[in-house]
Amino acid sequence: MNENRILSVALAGLLTLPLLTACGGDGAGGGSGDPKGLTDAGYASLGTSDFDGALSDFQKALAALEPGAPGFVRAAMGEVDALIHIDPGQARDKFLELARSYPDAIGSREFSTVGGKLTSEGKYTEAIDVLDAGLKIFTEDPKLIAVLAKVREAAEKAGDTSALKSLEGLGYL
């Protein structure tokens, strides 16, 4: 009888081990295979200005998601947000590709948000590229126009002649 009990406990332990391992992971987002948890962890890291940690979480989430799957655009926008602070040029490029690939999910609000964040980082040329692309889709959008005016003001104040030439070349000055 005692032998059967030991065998039952050992068998139960072996059967629950895979479940515990699947729920564990590396501590980020509740497991390396949980895209939603990783995305949530990425946004939490953004909130504490841990941009490298956020980028890592978002990229792990994206690796676990099929393009177009629920949560994909949210994770991709998080990746863009982290990249704004790490590599603004790559942030711009990834955002514009995301906007081209998912036009139903990326609206004028996302264009103005990304343009505004790039402006806050002093990356005026990248912000202009994003806002110009947005205005080509959402012509006359008041929020995009307002953010573009803030970019112009900030670029003038900073003396960023490259950004001002870009604005002029696009017909915004």
Q: pLDDT tens digit string along 66-109? A: 998 999 999 999 999 999 999 999 999 999 999 999 999 999 99
Domain boundaries, position 50: 29-86
Examine the domain organization and report whether 146 and 103 are in the same domain: yes
Examine the domain organization and report whether 68 and 106 are in the same domain: no
Examine the domain organization and report whether 41 and 60 are in the same domain: yes
pLDDT of 45 > 50? The answer is yes
Closest CA to 114 of 139, 137, 143, 157: 143
Average pLDDT, the chain: 85
Domain-embedded: residue 6: no
Examine the domain organization and report whether 80 and 158 are in the same domain: no
HSE on the CB side for 117, CA within 13 Å?
21
pLDDT of 20 > 90? The answer is no
Give me the pLDDT at residue 172, please.
87
pLDDT of 18 > 70? The answer is no
Alpha-carbon separation of residue 75 from 27, 66, 81, 88, 110 (angstroms): 18, 11, 10, 17, 14
Q: Which of 1-5, 11-15, 82-86 has the lowest mean pLDDT?
A: 11-15
Last residue of a domain, one of 59, 86, 113: 86
Domain-embedded: residue 24: no
Mean pLDDT of 55-71: 95
Examine the domain organization and report whether 103 and 172 are in the same domain: yes
> How many domains does the chain divide into?
2
Rounded to whole angstroms, how far apart are CA atoms 87 and 68?
Answer: 24
